[in-house]
Amino acid sequence: MIEHTVTFRLKHERGSAAEQDFLKAAAVLAYLPGVQEFAIRRQTSVKNTHHFGITMRFETQIAYAAYTHHPDHVAFVQDRWLEEVVDFTEADFEELQEASSDQRAN
């Protein structure tokens, strides 16, 4: 299982219609093939300059690659992300089997 996470800050004023429009457009990514457990969240910590986070999971690396190259994802990145996001961090995680096994044993 791969968890794809991105945190970001938009160029739009917080709470604006443009911000909401971007988030609605991003939510459509949840319906692309292979996407599981999709969520958009608002940042609440003052320690982080990013205002939002998007997370999703993929069963396999192949499913994640298919999502990355899907025409709707590519279009979203080109048409919206690159134009409206001013800063972001992206991270992809795989579960550590050893750590999971240790936790289940306790």
**Using CA atoms, how far apart are residues 53 and 60, in angstroms rounded to an integer?**
22
| pLDDT (tens digit per residue) in 49-105 | 999 999 999 999 999 999 999 999 999 999 999 999 999 999 999 988 776 555 555
Considering the domain boundaries, does residue 19 fall inside one? yes
Record the tokens describing residue 30, joined without a space: 């949840």
Which CATH number does the domain housing residue 48 bear? 3.30.70.100
**What is residue 46's predicted lDDT score, i.e. its pLDDT?**
87
Considering the domain boundaries, does residue 21 fall inside one? yes
pLDDT confidence tier of residue 106, bands split at 50, 70 and 90: low
* Cα-based distances in Å from 4 to 48, 85, 91, 104: 19, 17, 6, 24
Considering the domain boundaries, does residue 27 fall inside one? yes
Considering the domain boundaries, does residue 35 fall inside one? yes
Tell me: pLDDT of 9 over 60. Answer: yes
**Using CA atoms, how far apart are residues 48 and 45, in angstroms rounded to an integer?**
6
| pLDDT (tens digit per residue) in 19-54 | 999 999 999 999 999 999 999 999 998 888 999 999
**What is residue 25's predicted lDDT score, i.e. its pLDDT?**
96
Tally of domains within the chain: 1
**What is residue 103's predicted lDDT score, i.e. its pLDDT?**
59
For residue 76, what are the domain limits? 1-53+70-88
Q: What is the DSSP letter of 13?
A: P
